[in-house]
Amino acid sequence: IWSNILDYVRQNISDVEYHTWFRDVKPLGVEQGELILGVKNAFSQEWFKSHYVKLIEMAMRDMGAQNPKVNFQVLPAVQDAMLLPGTPTPAPAPEPRPAPAVHMVTEPNRVNLNAKYTFDNFVVGPNNNLAHAAAVAVAESPGRAYNPLFIYGDVGLGKTHLMHAVGHFVSERHPHMRIEYVSTESFTNDLINAIRDDKMTAFRNRYRSIDLLLVDDIQFLAGKERTQEEFFHTFNALHENHKQIILSSDRPPKDIETLEARLRSRFEWGLITDIQSPEFETRVAILKMNAEIRRISVPQDVLELIAKHVTSNIRELEGALMRVVAFASLNNVEVNRSVAAKALSEIFTPNTVQLDMNDILRSVANFYGVTPEALKGTGRAREIVIPRQMAMYMIRELTTHSLPEIGQFFSRDHSTVLYAIQKMTEQIQKDTELTKVAQQLSQRLKQSPM
């Protein structure tokens, strides 16, 4: 049975994911219809619970199980190995901080603010400082700063996080206030249900008695006339009573097609602010914060490696970090640069991983008409020093090797390598000829990893 389940799983996830997670899982048996799987440690137990329960249950159902259930147990032997000195000790589960009590509007479980999404856990950078400042202003005086606050930006850049942060902040300061966070989808569904069940009065009462309404992904109002109509009235009722409204969207109001003009103009009444992709330093800071929240220690150069390669989306950034930590923990090794590179080989461009230091050395030597041996040697002539610095620079740019590893390759210590790379970086910035050389070399190497 288990091998069938594995086959099913394998078809539905990537190879790397499969090998990272499923290689060491042991079926322990079936207890009262529940499949018990043994996993290596508490960390992977949590990971399985949050990522693979559905998939495994689907696999079981696929094989005919009526009411599939799966549970996980930590295998004792490996648990001990985790405690050996020198092995990383990832936090078992990122223990959510207790969420402040949030006032329910009608039924319980409606208000679902993520306890992690607070201002404290939000890294402010040049990409999001305006949106952050606006959110803080609104949180400090709801209904009186900017109303509505409209936050837009691409997916995974922190819009939902900021909205929840306002929710937490307001609920702590004003425990009596009614706060509701809804996705535009669930607003639409509520409306459809209310219409179907003839409960429009209840629907209106509920939405119009909110003090702070957070509506996420409002771009999904596009093309939904009836929902737009109802939302228009909800908006007006709240706004007239100085109740705070915060909206998020993946684009500014003017770019939401088929949005009624009267709604669009209302969305533009308050403040419109955007969130951009974070730059390198902010990405590193976010990773650092993430590691701290999860109480795991990750070396700076690993954070930088991840931040260098995962550039677009913060959720992916966090996913990459978790993958690295998980990979190290499952293999009982310390988190370092090369472990991280291995764990992430799938999401890095293939060339970054495949390129070998010798290939790069040869290619640079070739370009300058010198021998690779000379570049590895001790010669101090300018004709050698520049190409040598370029080779170190290229290796650092195009591979995931650490400074000490590059140093070893050149029989030098890592500070010498660091100095050479810094020197070359400056030169390339100043000297347009050199900029071209670097571009050519890098292109050549990327195209034909020898």
**DSSP structural state of residue 254:** G
Residue with tokens 């706004």: 239
Instruction: Report how far residue 44's alpha carbon sits from residue 53's, in angstroms, rounded to the nearest whole number.
Output: 12
Q: Is 160 annotated as a binding residue?
A: yes
The entry of Mg ion, ligand ADP, none near residue 161 (CB within 5 to 8 angstroms by kind) is ligand ADP
Per CB under 5 A, which region of 95-103, 159-167, 175-183, 189-197 contacts Mg ion? 159-167
Task: Map residue 149 onto helix, strand or coil.
Answer: strand
**Piece of the chain touching ligand ADP by CB under 6 A; list 47-55, 118-126, 237-245, 422-430:** 118-126
**Orientation of helix 42-51 relative to helix 15-22, angle to 10°:** 130
Q: How far is the CB of 346 from ligand ADP (least distance, A)?
A: 20
Beta bridge partners of 38: 26, 73
List of residues 6+ apart from 72 with CB closer than 8 A: 36, 37, 38, 39, 45, 48, 49
Q: Which stretch binds ligand ADP (CB under 6 A): 135-143, 151-159, 301-309, 337-345?
A: 151-159
Question: Contact between 159 and ligand ADP (CB under 6 A)?
Answer: yes
Q: CB of 22 within 8 A of CB of 51?
A: no
Q: Tell me if 293 sits within 8 A of 121, measured CB to CB.
A: yes
> Within 10 A of 55 (CB to CB), how many other CB atoms are there?
16
Task: State the nearest-atom distance from the C-beta of 159 to Mg ion, in Å.
Answer: 5
Q: Are 151 and 275 in contact (CB under 8 A)?
A: yes
- The least CB distance from residue 265 to ligand ADP, in Å, is 24
289 binds ligand ADP (CB under 6 A): yes
Q: Give DSSP secondary structure letters for 301-334.
A: HHHHHHHHH--S-HHHHHHHHHHHHHHHHHTT--
Tell whether residue 161 is a contact of ligand ADP (CB under 6 A). yes
Minimum gap (Å) between residue 155 Cβ and ligand ADP? 4
Q: Does 158 bind ligand ADP (CB under 6 A)?
A: yes
In the complex, the smallest distance separating the C-beta of residue 286 from ligand ADP, rounded to whole angstroms, is 5
* Type of residue found at 75: L
Judging by DSSP bridges, how do beta strands 271-275 and 149-153 pair with one another? parallel
Tokens linked to 279: 């730059």
Task: Tell me: is residue 407 an annotated ligand-binding position.
Answer: no
Instruction: Point out the residue whose Cβ comes nearest to ligand ADP.
Output: 158
**Residue 247 in contact with ligand ADP, rule: CB under 6 A:** no
Binding string, residues 313-352; x marks residues near ligand ADP by CB under 6 A: -xx--x----------------------------------
Compute the half-sphere exposure of residue 359: CA atoms within 13 Å on the CB side of its CA: 17
Using the rule CB under 6 A, is 128 a contact of ligand ADP?
yes
User: If you count DSSP H runs as helices and E runs as strands, how many of each does the chain have, helices first?
Assistant: 22, 8
- In the complex with ligand ADP, the residue whose CB is nearer, 161 or 168, is 161
Q: Which residue has the tokens 């070396």?
A: 299
CB 161 → ligand ADP: shortest distance, Å? 3
Smallest gap, in angstroms, from Cβ of residue 287 to ligand ADP? 9
- Which of the ranges 89-97, 117-125, 228-236, 329-337 carries the binding residues for ligand ADP, by CB under 6 A? 117-125
**Chain residues in the site for ligand ADP (CB under 6 A):** 117, 121-123, 128, 153, 155-161, 286, 289, 314-315, 318
**Chain residues in the site for Mg ion (CB under 5 A):** 159-160
Binding residues for ATP: 156, 158-160
